[in-house]
Amino acid sequence: MPNPYDDLFNNGDENQKDPQDRPLDLTDSELGEKDNFKTDGKEPLDEIVENIQRFDKEAEAFAKLLSRTKAIDHKVMTSVERILFMELKPKEELTLIEEREYHHLLRKKFEAIINPMRNLAKIHLEVVQQYNTDIDAEYFSTEKTDHTVNSEKSSVVNNINIQRKILADASDDLTILKDALEVAKKELVNILMRAETIIFPGQNMKLLFKKESL
């Protein structure tokens, strides 16, 4: 029969205690020290702000590029307007050269916009994805007051909308240039087809090109 006074006169031998009564070892794996509890020292909101700053830095040069490109100048331009734009004399023998130069100019502008735009779109996607994943109404910071957190969250949302506007404007410019490229390409084909009746009367130029390629 166990002595009912053993517990009162016990010298504090931890090994005699029920495992559930022992203090938890904060280093035990049972506490669930998972990777998602670890941090590199930066809070999610701080990482988002840094990505926004990275976007802003690249967007500054990108905005200047859009301004220099002036894609709107190429919207719905007629052949006469394109000749004037290229500042070439409207001589018949230079028509093909003019069209080729104009097509080359459009392609250069298109490529100049789309390459940096891809990188900006990638940064924007990172910002949006991290914000949607890590920031919600319950988000809190161990280093900042609730007022500061709410202010930064509001600023992030505003910056996301600004980023979308910049990318949307760039997309509109690309659409204008793409449409202009298609028109210029068709005009080049028309010039070649008109030349068919002069250089190769009675022959189909497409068939001739096909025969020569055999």
38: number of CA atoms within 13 Å, CB side?
5
Residue partners of 119: CB distance under 8 A and separation at least 6? 58
Rounded Cα–Cα distance for residues 13 and 135 (Å): 48
pLDDT per residue, tens digit, the chain (214 aa), is: 555 545 544 555 555 555 555 544 544 444 444 444 344 578 999 999 999 999 999 999 999 999 999 888 888 555 666 566 665 544 444 467 788 888 899 999 999 999 999 999 999 999 999 999 999 888 988 889 999 999 999 999 999 999 999 999 999 999 999 998 988 888 888 777 776 655 545 555 555 445 444 3
Phi-psi region of 52 (alpha: psi -120 to 50; beta: other; left: phi over 0): alpha
Q: Which candidate, 183, 186, 190, 184, places its Cα nearest to that of 205?
A: 190
Residue partners of 75: CB distance under 8 A and separation at least 6? 176, 179, 180
Domain ranges of the chain: 42-201
Buried b (16+ CB within 10 A) or exposed e, 26-52: eeeeeeeeeeeeeeeeebebeebbebb
What sign for the dihedral angle of Cα 164, 166, 170, 175?
positive
